[in-house]
């Protein structure tokens, strides 16, 4: 019990400091968190529009019964949750190294604080984006709200594991930073954010279906929209991916964290 | 009591491992103030960082049931973008449960460190002396069994020096102890009962200042320590 209140206190203190440094002075971090998805959505809608001959064509296009802006938002937002969690976790050790001098502050507290913050930002962003779309008359009824929340949470857990793995990995081998940013870029294009796996010819799907992030995103959509059924994506696969990432992340943490924070 | 058991610490360098400590076994007895002396690079700061659990040994362990402070020195322990006040608040929140107590301590730190308006400016704008003063103030605001001090007692003007020696003395009479790393034998003599000298990967413990002086003269000022620590041709 004491350990829990201690953990809570330290995580809250770290969260406050994180808010101060990220959003405090310039507020740019906060604005960017909203601007980035809106910008990307406009770009993709614009591209669709050019292909269709008019901007209206971009907006009014349907992908498997889903209006394109809704389709985009339903893929982009969880992907941002993933990418931001992973990159924030990846830099946790470097950003907080000075604070590990204080014995009650354990590295895992700093990881948790950053992870919570990304979760909070996701919730605010989700309400903001879908609220704005609703105002613009892109309305829909969530098919399975509980299932959707469960999928988001699973994806969030998966991101925590991957973030832990990457953070230890880049501290041990700094060169990995470049490779990871390339992986993130590839995942952006390969994870079904602006296309559906259903649009891919069946014999090529196997080349995309190794990617658990695509499964997460498509399954989020499946729980979100009526008439959107994905048979290629598997709940079992995402559950296993989450367990493996958490197991690997926590093991690496346990085994290597002392070595990592000892390096200067 | 602090016990170092089978402690080994090395750093990886281009030319392989550089051992700072190799299988060290020492017990720092209860209720003694310990001075750590030696030239630069001998491993004074490393010892403090190991005891303060900022770094971890490659082998062996450090056993203690005491509350040990973070090492107070010219560097480390800082998040540059925070202001002095924010950092003080963070540390108090992390160590203490009572909100009121935190506020009082922060006020005390503000007055003690004499940072004035710098207290509300980012720590990265501080001079090294100011950083040390802040770290010292934050450390002294909290109650520990052992305070780890790395060269900092010589910070600031004469008035601040007097003030910090005064508060240290106060802590000592209350039953706390210090582990003080320093170049200066004089300072160590003033506060410490035991002297520890890192030497050739081991730690030598002295109780007699006369012996220390002889050893220190012989070892440090004739200067073979670096060569024997480093390459072994």
| Tens digit of each residue's pLDDT (9 = 90 or more) over B92-147 | 999 998 889 999 999 999 999 999 999 999 888 888 888 888 999 999 999 999 99
If one counts the domains in chain A, the total is 1
Range of the domain at A84: 2-262
ipTM of the complex: 0.85
Two tokens, residue B161: 């020096």
Which domain range does residue B26 map to? 1-67+178-233
Question: Comparing A40-54, B55-69, B196-210, which segment has the lowest mean pLDDT?
Answer: A40-54
For residue B52, pLDDT beyond 70: yes
* Paired strand residues for B195: B35, B206
DSSP state of A38: H
Q: Say yes or no for a CB contact (<8 Å) between B97 and A103.
A: no
Closest CA to B191 of B173, B206, B214: B173
Q: Which of A260, A262, A263, A264 to mutate against chain B (most B CBs within 10 Å)? A: A262
- Write down the mean pLDDT value for chain B: 85
A106 has a chain B CB within 8 A of its CB: no
Instruction: Name the one residue in this structure whose structure tokens are 């209350």.
Output: B174
**Least Cα separation, residue A11 to chain B (angstroms):** 9
Give the pLDDT confidence score for residue B228 in this predicted structure. Answer: 41
CATH of the domain at B46: 3.40.50.300
Q: Find the CB nearest A105 among B76, B80, B94.
A: B94
For residue B219, is it within any domain?
Answer: yes
Q: How far is B87 from chain A (nearest CA, A)?
A: 9
In 3D space, the residue among A225, A205, A221, A85 whose CA is nearest the CA of residue A157 turns out to be: A85
B/e letters for B87-110, b = 16+ CB within 10 Å, e = fewer, are bbbbbbbbbbeeeeebeebbeebb
Interface of B with A in 41-70 (CB under 8 A): 52-56, 68, 70
Alpha helices (H) along chain B: 44-51, 84-95, 99-113, 128-141, 158-173, 185-191, 209-216, 225-229
A102 CB neighbours in chain B (<8 A) are 70, 77, 91, 94-95
| pLDDT tens track for B13-33 | 888 888 999 999 999 998 999
Let me know if residue B173 belongs to a domain.
no
Nearest to B7 by CA among B20, B31, B19, B24: B24
By C-alpha distance, the chain A residue nearest B53 is: A103
Q: What is the mean pLDDT of residues B48-54?
A: 91
Note the pLDDT tens digit of each residue in B207-230.
888 888 888 777 766 554 444 443
Interface of B with A in 95-114 (CB under 8 A): 95, 97
Quick check: is B203 in a domain? yes
pLDDT in tens, chain A (264 residues): 668 888 889 999 999 888 887 776 566 777 888 888 889 988 988 888 887 777 666 676 777 878 888 999 999 999 999 999 999 999 999 888 888 989 999 999 999 999 999 999 999 999 999 999 999 988 889 999 999 999 999 999 999 999 999 999 999 999 999 999 999 999 999 999 988 988 888 889 889 899 999 999 999 999 999 988 888 889 999 999 999 999 999 999 999 999 898 876
Nearest Cα residue in chain B from A8 = B94
Q: Which residues have CB under 8 Å from A22's CB, separation 6+?
A: A29, A30, A117
Nearest by Cα to A113 from A126, A127, A96: A96
Q: Does A104 contact B94 at a Cβ distance shorter than 8 Å? A: yes
How do the residues of chain A divide into helix, strand and coil, expressed in percent and rounded to 5? 80, 0, 20
Cβ contact (<8 Å) for B79 and A103? no
Residue B222 lies in a domain: yes
Confidence at residue A58, expressed as pLDDT on a 0 to 100 scale:
67
Task: Give all strands (DSSP E) within chain A, no chain letters.
Answer: 62-63, 66-67
The beta-carbon neighbor of B79 closest among A98, A104, A261 is: A98
Tokens of B133: 């003063």
Number of domains in chain B: 1
In DSSP terms, B28 is beta-bridged to: B2
State the pLDDT confidence band at B187, using cuts at 50, 70 and 90: confident
Is B221 inside any structural domain?
Answer: yes
Q: What sign does the dihedral B44-B50-B53-B58 (CA atoms) show? A: positive
Q: Any bridge partners for residue B61, and if so which? A: B5
């Amino acid at each position: 019990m004491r350990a829990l209140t201690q953990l809570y206190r330290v995580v809250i203190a770290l969260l406050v400091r994180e808010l101060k440094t990220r959003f405090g002075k310039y507020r740019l971090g906060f604005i960017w968190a909203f601007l980035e998805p809106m910008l990307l959505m406009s770009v993709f809608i614009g591209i669709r529009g050019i292909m269709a001959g008019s901007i209206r064509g971009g907006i009014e296009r349907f992908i498997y019964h889903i209006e394109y802006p809704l389709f985009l938002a339903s893929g982009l937002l969880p992907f941002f949750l993933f990418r931001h969690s992973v990159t924030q976790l990846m830099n946790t050790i470097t950003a907080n190294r000075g604070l590990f001098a204080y014995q009650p502050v354990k590295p895992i507290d700093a990881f948790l604080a950053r992870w919570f913050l990304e979760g909070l930002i996701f919730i605010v962003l989700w309400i903001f984006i879908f609220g704005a779309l609703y105002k613009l008359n892109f309305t829909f009824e969530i098919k399975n709200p509980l299932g959707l929340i469960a999928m988001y949470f699973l994806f969030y857990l998966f991101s925590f594991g991957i973030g832990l793995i990457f953070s230890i990995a880049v501290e041990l081998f700094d060169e990995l930073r470049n490779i990871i940013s390339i992986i993130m870029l590839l995942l952006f294009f390969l994870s079904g954010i602006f296309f559906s796996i259903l649009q891919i010819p069946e014999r090529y799907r196997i080349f995309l279906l190794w990617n658990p992030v695509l499964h997460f995103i498509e399954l989020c959509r499946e729980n979100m929209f009526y008439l959107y059924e994905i048979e290629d994506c598997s709940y079992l696969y995402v559950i296993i991916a989450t367990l493996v990432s958490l197991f690997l992340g926590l093991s690496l943490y346990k085994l290597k964290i002392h070595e990592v924070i000892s390096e200067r | 009591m602090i016990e170092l058991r089978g402690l080994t610490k090395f750093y990886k360098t281009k030319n392989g491992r550089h051992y700072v400590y190799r299988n060290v076994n020492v017990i720092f007895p209860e209720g003694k103030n310990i001075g750590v002396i030696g030239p630069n690079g001998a491993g004074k700061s490393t010892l403090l960082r190991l005891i303060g659990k900022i770094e971890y040994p490659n082998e062996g362990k450090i056993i203690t049931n005491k509350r040990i402070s973070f090492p107070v020195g010219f560097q480390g322990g800082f998040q540059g973008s925070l202001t002095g006040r924010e950092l003080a608040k963070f540390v108090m929140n992390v160590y203490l449960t009572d909100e009121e107590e935190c506020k009082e301590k922060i006020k005390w730190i503000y007055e003690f460190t004499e940072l004035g308006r710098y207290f509300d400016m980012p720590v990265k704008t501080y001079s090294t002396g100011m950083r040390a003063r802040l770290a010292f103030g934050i450390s002294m605001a909290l109650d520990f069994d052992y305070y780890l001090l790395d060269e900092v007692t010589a910070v600031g003007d004469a008035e601040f020096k007097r003030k910090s020696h005064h508060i240290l003395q106060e802590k000592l009479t209350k039953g706390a102890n210090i582990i003080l790393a320093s170049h200066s034998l004089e300072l160590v003599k003033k506060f410490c009962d035991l002297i520890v000298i890192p030497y050739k990967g081991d730690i030598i413990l002295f109780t007699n200042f006369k012996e220390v002086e002889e050893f220190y003269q012989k070892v440090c000022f004739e200067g073979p320590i670096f060569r024997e620590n480093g390459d072994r041709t």
